Structure 1
Amino acid sequence: MILPKKLKRGDTVGIIAPASPPNQENLEKSFSFLKELGLNVKIGSHVKEVYGYLAGTDENRLRDLHTMFSDPSVDAIICAGGGYGTARIAAHIDYSLIKNNPKIFWGYSDITFLHTAIRQETELVTFHGPMLASDVGKEEFQDLSKKMFLQLFEPKELHYSEQISPLEVISEGERTGDLVGGNLSLIQSSIGTPYELDTEGKLLFIEDIDEPPYRVDGMLNQLLMAGKLQAAAGIVVGDFKNAVPTNNKPSLSLDEVLEHYLGGLQTPVLKGFKIGHCEPHFSIPLGVKARLSSKTKSLTIMPGVQ
């Protein structure tokens, strides 16, 4: 894997909106946090554009992505928000440009499709973490979420234990593998494409938002039939915000769905990680080695920068 270079005070962060239009007021508020970290801000030319449910046309969102990776004055790229749209540009990305200009790339949710495509095409480690307009610029942005950005300034091993949140074992075991994944619906949408997520021998991380149990059931069923769950060395279940039935019809609970698909796997599966659409949001590098243990109820992750 390619580890991007660590940041230092005075470096410049490029901001792009590769999916839906970000809340501009929250985006502006987020800049003060970046400045507290000693970082300068460079805003993509098309971040304020609105094209239906997209932050500008595919061509313009792609242009901002390419510009930030090719610009030698930009040391890291942080996404303003998610929503929908990154899969529309994945096939048109110049992956050789990214591989020849590796740098920190940070976001989550719909950005999952880009995390997977970039890593599998270039071997660049990317970061699953809070975005500027969606999270950083809001009042509820918590201290732990802020501290997770410090992993970009110095190589550090991350340790997640029950000191952060209660963890529950779905399947016993202890395994090591590259940490991959992200938003479950985006992982599902990669199946059958050139950017289909490779889970063979890897620790698969999943999270989602506003998906009722039957929808989570359908997505996990597709991953099961595609062999993705069985191939994984272990599964890290992050936050599933608002995963409740949306009508008065009978429904399985999210826990029952998770137990059905993950309980019989012969690999460690733990749930309860505050990673995803939640506060605090524990940020993680994707593509690095990690160790998941049901014995110690912990996830240990190797550094994501050099």
Structure 2
Amino acid sequence: MMLPKPLKHGDTVGVIAPASPSNIENYQKSKAFIESLGLSIQEGKHLKNVHGYLAGTDDERLEDLHAMFADDSIKGIIFAGGGYGTARIAHRLDYELIKKNPKIFWGYSDLTYLHTAIRQETGLVTFHGPMLASDVGKDDFHPLSKKQFNQLFEPTSLVYDESFSTLEVIAEGEAQGEIVGGNLTLIASSLGGPYELDTKGKLLFIEDIDEEPYRIDGYLAQLMHAGKLDDAAGIIVGDFKNAVPTRKPSLTLETVLTDYFQSLKKPVMKGFQIGHCQPHFAIPLGTRATLSTKSKSLSIQPGVKES
């Protein structure tokens, strides 16, 4: 595990779009919030490019990502948005460059693929948190979501309990381990490849958006058959926004989750507002945490090192 250095007032953060094109109007609105944190922004050269459903060609998006890690004046990287595209460039990342220049790496959704690849190749702890165009620049960006950025400025132990949202126990127990995972679709797409998610002895976190129960069922079946559910020490079920069936009849999302998780002899809880939701509770990926169904809590070690 390699912790990045914390940010401090006056630092510059890089903003790039390594997946799909971002809503530029929302991005422009988000800049005031980043500046209110005492940070300056340096935009990637190709931030506003559009190449079909991608924010520029693979070469352009890769160039922006490498440039941000290589530039010593950039102290953290915050993503404009997700969408689709990071799996296309994961095999071309310069992991030695990243390992030699560890810094804050903040985003979610399609960024799950890069979170996993970078952590497993370099050991760098990264952050699953709200993005600029996708979240910060929208009118419904929640005050609690804003507070999540505070963990980037000093080592902060996080505790998620029922003061944030109602948590439901699917399987009882308590377990410790590194938090890994993210978007369920991206986790499933990693199976069989060089960046397949390692869940051995770890706390597996999952979330998704706009996926019907039968699709979520299929992804969980993939993880089950690949041994990922058995390998995990515990499972953290985040937000599954718009998991509404269009085909009838259908199982509910709750039934699907119960079918896969209830018989596991390890802690499984759902109801965490982590994912495509507001508020969005941000977490470091790669740090150790404790999941307890008795106390209905998730306790997480800091994601940045001591100054």
User: What residue in structure 2 maps to residue 146 of structure 1?
Assistant: 146
Shift of 1:59: 0.3
Distance 2:188 2:171 in 1: 22
Distance 2:218 2:93 in 1: 30
Distance 1:226 1:173 in 2: 23
Distance 1:231 1:246 in 2: 33
2:35 partner amino acid: K
Shift of 1:244: 1.0
Aligned length: 305
- Deviation track 1:235-254 (CA, whole Å, cap 9, x = no partner) reads 0000000001023x200000
1:166 partner amino acid: T
Shift of 1:15: 0.3
User: What residue in structure 1 maps to residue 265 of structure 2?
Assistant: 266
User: What residue in structure 1 maps to residue 282 of structure 2?
Assistant: 283
Distance 2:262 2:99 in 1: 38
Distance 1:145 1:10 in 2: 22
Distance 2:103 2:79 in 1: 13
User: What residue in structure 2 maps to residue 207 of structure 1?
Assistant: 207
Distance 1:11 1:47 in 2: 20
User: What residue in structure 1 maps to residue 163 of structure 2?
Assistant: 163
- Equivalent position SS for 2:221: helix
User: What residue in structure 2 maps to residue 105 of structure 1?
Assistant: 105
Distance 2:14 2:47 in 1: 11
User: What residue in structure 1 maps to residue 50 of structure 2?
Assistant: 50
Distance 2:45 2:271 in 1: 39
Distance 1:132 1:264 in 2: 39
Alignment partner of 1:245 is 2:238: no
- Deviation track 1:191-219 (CA, whole Å, cap 9, x = no partner) reads 00000000000000000000000000000
The TM-score normalised by the length of structure 1 is 0.99
- Equivalent position SS for 2:275: coil
1:253 partner amino acid: T
- Deviation track 1:67-101 (CA, whole Å, cap 9, x = no partner) reads 00000110000010000000000000000000000
Distance 2:262 2:62 in 1: 40
Alignment partner of 1:35 is 2:35: yes
The percent of aligned pairs where both chains have the same amino acid is 69
Specify every segment of 5 or more residues in structure 1 that has no aligned partner in the other structure, as ranges.
none
- Deviation track 1:236-287 (CA, whole Å, cap 9, x = no partner) reads 000000001023x200000000000011111000000000000000000000
User: What residue in structure 2 maps to residue 91 of structure 1?
Assistant: 91
Give the 4+ runs in structure 1 shifted more than 2 A.
none
Distance 1:272 1:263 in 2: 15
The TM-score normalised by the length of structure 2 is 0.99
